[in-house]
Amino acid sequence: MMRFLLGLIFTASFHLIFASPRLKQKAFRGDTKAQLRLAFKEINSEPPNWSGATSWLEMAAIRGDKIACNLLGFSYSSGLGVSKNTLKSLEWWELGASLGSMNCIKSLAINHSNEGNKVKALSWKIIYEKAGLKDQQDDWVTQINPINELEFEQAKLLADKIENSWKIKRETGITDPLSHLEKFGELTLPNGSYYKGTVLGNTPHGYGMKVSANGAVYYGYFSNGLECGYGTSFGKNGYIIFQGHWIDGNPISK
């Protein structure tokens, strides 16, 4: 993280130290590039003025600048210019992650791992790896691994929930009504089972978890309300009953 920040800071142009009033006018009018440049001016000062930078960073972050989100997360996690606040750092990193910042996603995975929240850490690792990226600077990716299959399925479900929340936020009600979208939800099914996962028209559709009345749990894919695709069924004791492909609600034996 520090190497990333230093890279950003030292690549900023030296003339930013002498930012003009016109640049501030643009920043106050909502120009995120101007806001970010003014933030770097404060960070590049001697000594660095993080308290002066955070106000510009917040202006840019709430307008969708993912670099600003990442820097705000770092400032709150480290107590630079603001009181140290883990919840605030997570909020800014989560916003940056929703905007596509791989650095924010990485920070969330590492933070949750350090806090001992393995499922959350693994869910952010899954999202990171979906982007097809490999971290070349350290081995944090290999350090976050599930203890068992159940923990991995829980992390997949959480990752799916996070990504679905991003999708819904990005859609507009005018061009894509939410009623027609796959979204994340919780349902009580007619047979008494509990479902949590992707739904389409109040029906399980996509990746999700189903808890049956007898305590059995299924993690996997659904189509039109039935298990369909790859999935894993666990007994109430947590042991795997079946793992493989399903169709129309039934496991397919090899």
What mean pLDDT, rounded, does the chain reach?
82
Q: Is residue 162 domain-resident?
A: no
Q: Taking the model in full, what pTM does it have? A: 0.69
Domain presence at residue 9: yes
Q: What confidence tens digit (pLDDT) does each residue in 49-90 have?
A: 998 899 889 889 988 899 999 999 999 999 999 999 999 999
Whole-angstrom distance, CA of residue 203 vs CA of residue 224 = 6
170 Cβ contact partners less than 8 Å away, ≥ 6 residues apart: none
Count how many domains the chain has.
Answer: 2
What lies within 8 Å, CB to CB, of 194 at 6+ separation is 186, 187, 188, 210, 211
**187 and 100 part of one domain:** no
Q: Is 129 in the same domain as 188?
A: no
Verify that 23 and 135 share a domain, yes or no.
yes
What's the rounded Cα separation, in Å, for the pair 222 and 167? 19
Residues 9 and 120 both lie in one domain: yes
User: Of 222, 221, 225, which Cα lies nearest the Cα of 201?
Assistant: 225
- Flag whether 150 is in a domain: no
pLDDT digits (tens, 9 = 90+) for 80-126: 999 999 999 999 999 999 999 999 999 999 999 999 999 999 999 99
Q: How far apart are alpha carbons 63 and 83 in whole angstroms?
A: 23
| Whether residue 191 is found in the same domain as residue 136 | no
Gap between the Cα atoms of 4 and 14, Å rounded = 18
Strand, helix or coil at 148?
Answer: coil
* pLDDT range class, residue 19, cuts 50, 70, 90: very low
**140 has a pLDDT exceeding 50:** yes
Q: Which of 105, 127, 143 is the last residue of a domain?
A: 143
116 with 72, same domain? yes
Give me 159's structure tokens: 């990752």
The answer to whether residue 34 is domain-embedded is yes
Instruction: Report the pLDDT value the prediction gives residue 121, as an integer from 0 to 100.
Output: 93
Domain of residue 114, residue span = 2-143
Q: What is the spatial distance between Cα 162 and Cα 153, in angstroms, rounded to a whole number?
A: 14
Checking if the pLDDT of 168 tops 90, the result is no
96 is a domain residue? yes
User: How many CB atoms are closer than 10 A to CB 7?
Assistant: 9
> Which residue has better confidence, 164 or 99?
99
What is the pLDDT at residue 237?
81
Residues 96 and 182 in one domain: no
Same domain, 18 and 136: yes
